Amino acid sequence: MRRILNAKPSITQREVDYVTDAAAHGWGLDCYGYLNRFIGEAKQYFDSELAWPTSSCHGALHMVLMALGVGPGDEVIVPDATWTGSVFPISWLGATPVFVDVKPDTWCVDPRQVGKAITAKTKAVIAVHLYGNLCEMDELVAVCNERGVTLIEDAAEAIGSEYKGRKAGSIADFGVFSFHGTKTLTTGEGGLILSHRTDLASKVTAIDSQGRHQGAKTFWVDEIGLKYKMSNLQAALGLAQLERAEELVQRKRETFHQYQAAFADWSDITLNPEPAGTLNSYWMPTVVFGPSYQPTVDQRNTWIDACVAAGVEARPFFYPVSDMPMYTDMPQNTVSRELSASGINLPSSYELTPDDVGYVVSTLRQAVRG
C-alpha cells in the first residue's frame, strides 16, 4: 500500500560527513568543536547576540522560565491552541499557565486577550508561532513592554518564518526552538535558546552549566541548575542542517504551494495564512474546514482515520491544552475549540512529490465525501 509520511528530515551527504567526523574525531580537546560551530551558525542565521543549544525545546523553555525566576504563585500566559510542550515547563516550576484564545486568521495567540489576562502575578507571555504561522509580534511586544512582562517566542514550529524581515524566535526577549526529527531542521532531538537579554545571559549560562558560575573552582556549584546540553554529535548534524536552512525552508514553501494549487477548487476551507510583511516557512501544511462542513472532533477524526487507512499520515489540529485532564477547562476559548474540531495537518515530508500531494488531497476529498 502507498504510504505518505507526515514528516521526515532531509539528510544529505553533508550531514553524514559531519556526523561521521564528529564520531571519529570530536572528542578530547575537540569535544565542543561542532557545538561551537553550531552556536556561531545559529547566531548568524537568526541574527541573535546570544544562543544556547539544548537537548529539546522543552528544556530550552524550562531554562528560560527558570532564569526569569518563575515559580509558585506566578502566572505565565500561553495560547490554548498549542502542544503541551509550550505549557508543561510552567507547571514543572510550580507556576500557573493562563490559557488565552487564539485569532481565527493567524491561529496564533490573540494580543488583545493577552492584554486582558495580564495581572500582577504575570511573569511571562509565551507566543507560539503555530505550524509556521506568525504571531502579531508588534502588538505583543507593545503590550508586554507596557506591562513590564517578559515575552518568549516558542518558534519550535517556525524555523525560517519571518516577521517584517526578522526571523521568528529572534524578536522577543527570548526565543526557543525544536530540532526534533519532524521539524524543518533536525539534530535528531534538540533545541535552542536565543536572546538579546544580556542582563540575563550569565543567569542562563549558569543554569545551563548545572549551576556552575564561570570562573568557579572545579566541581564547585553555586546554585541549582539544569542539564539540557546538546551533544557534539547532535550539533554536527544540526550544523549541516543550518547551512542548508534556506534550501529546506524553500522546499517546505514549494510543498505548501503545491497544496494550495491542489485545493484551488475547494470552497469554505482555509490553509496556513501568510499576511503581508511575513514569510511563512509552512512547517506543517494544515487545512481548516469551514461551517458548511459542520465539522466536529469526531467527524474530523473519522476523516483522518480514512486517510491513514489509505496510507496518508494526516494528523489532527492540536486539542486545546485546557481540555487536558491536568488543567481546568476554558470553554470561553472558542476559536481554539473550533480550530481543533475542524483542522487537519497534512503530510509535509521533504520526499513529497507533486503526485504525492495530489494523492493526499484526493484521499482527503474521498474521506470527506464519505
C-alpha cell at 176: 526557543
Give one DSSP letter per residue of 122-183, joined into a string: EEEEEEE-GGG----HHHHHHHHHHHT-EEEEE-TT-TT-EETTEETTSSSSEEEEE-BTTS
Please provide the distance, in angstroms rounded to a whole number, between the alpha carbons at the two ends of the chain. Answer: 20
- Nearest C-alpha neighbor of 168 from the set 158, 178, 156: 158
Strand ranges inside the chain, DSSP E: 50-54, 75-79, 96-100, 122-128, 150-154, 162-163, 166-167, 174-178, 191-195, 269-271, 278-279, 286-289, 315-316, 343-345
- Please state the φ and ψ torsions of residue 255, each to the nearest 5 degrees: -65, -45
Cα separation, 10 vs 358, in Å, equals 21
Cα separation, 77 vs 94, in Å, equals 14
Q: Show which residues are catalytic.
A: 183
* Residue 165 CA: distances (Å) to CA of 127, 143, 212, 218, 342: 18, 21, 37, 44, 31
Residues 6+ apart with CB under 8 A from 267: 292
